[in-house]
Amino acid sequence: MSGGVLHVCGARPNFMKVAPIWRALAERTHLPQTLVHTGQHYDARMSQVFFDELGLPAPDLSLGVGSGSHAEQTAKVMVALERVLERRRPALVSVVGDVNSTLAAALVAAKAQIPLAHVEAGLRSFDRGMPEEVNRVVVDRLAALLLTPSGDADENLRREGARPEQIHRVGNVMVDTLRANLAAAQARPVLRDLALAPKGYAVCTLHRPANVDDPKMLGRILRGLAAVQRALPVVFPAHPRTRKVLDGLGALLAELPGLRLCEPMGYLDFLGLTSQARLVLTDSGGLQEETTALGVPCLTLRENTERPITVALGTNVLVGRDPERIAREALAAIEGRGKRGTVPQGWDGRAGVRVAEIYAGFLRAER
């Protein structure tokens, strides 16, 4: 096959973002599409379940790169994807988010002189200590099309020298997937299975290296959760990376009987869980956006965020990693004194349609 759009996804959040773009292109154009799964998340619980639940077709190609250091993982994707682009010669490579697979695809597309589109362009934490921040900046410099979720992203790109005609504000494609699946997610038995009542529990997720690789830092965060788990159960689906460190904190965990560790969940179960929570505590960028779309109070356990609109307009509060502040802000939310927000413009469930229209127009102009 030659021409058309080649989508690259590799990690859990990518699948939720690719799905609405794929559907919108399939419904509105005759453009051929190729779906490449790099295998950056290679556990079935972290990847295959998303294809099953989101209605994405089976990937046309699975690269199976697996784990490794940032350099190893990026290099494996580059080597494998270079061969794919040589054979397929798509007219456009589409990447989403900020993971290593996104960076690798951008570099290979640039070397192959194939136009690149970046969905979620312009997001910045201004913290180069985050590997994802480096990925974002590099990908945006290489992309021909910069598709942004919000006005702050537009401004970041303009400040960095992007041309106005490159920047297209489309809204948030992950919210498309959320809205399309919310009713089905809330109908699932996850709350019953965990013996939870709507609004009667909190949810915690942690996976950032700065939070989970150092047992002392993870211990500080857990101490911040102590007051929360006394007030109501805290469900903690533990990412494999986090579970390894938690295993060494058994004495501290024993002091937190209200903290309920469980396995990672599929998309629908997790959406059903978070959408009915009283409070979410997280270091996930995507979950900051989802809670804002859902109107659920969110405490972000980081010192910065690449999604500041969720703080400026949404339900998100940056609380860092100080145990006392975590406890104080969490109890305020539990008691109904937490932040109330609004949903940003363009987070309306039609971002994928806008992306598809831009892709189709760009490819017509390129002929």
CA gap 189, 193 in Å, rounded: 6
Whether residue 34 contacts residue 90, with contact meaning beta carbons closer than 8 Å, is answered with yes
Residue 207 annotated as catalytic: yes
CA-only gyration radius of the chain, Å: 20
Whether residue 288 contacts residue 318, with contact meaning beta carbons closer than 8 Å, is answered with no
Question: Which of 203, 139, 138, 156 has the alpha carbon at shortest distance from 307?
Answer: 156
* The token pair that represents 198 in the structure block: 């709507």
CA gap 360, 178 in Å, rounded: 24
CA gap 129, 286 in Å, rounded: 19
- Length reported for the chain: 367
Q: Which amino acid is at 289?
A: E
SS3 category, 55: coil
CA gap 160, 141 in Å, rounded: 9
* The token pair that represents 352 in the structure block: 């994928």
Q: What are phi and psi of 288, to 5 degrees?
A: -60, -40
Find tokens 């609380």 and name the residue.
319
Q: What are phi and psi of 209, to 5 degrees?
A: -55, -40
SS3 category, 301: coil
30, 41, 207, 239: which is the annotated catalytic residue? 207
Query: Pseudo-torsion of CA 228, 284, 33, 53, nearest 10°?
Result: -20
Whether residue 101 contacts residue 9, with contact meaning beta carbons closer than 8 Å, is answered with yes
Catalytic residues: 207
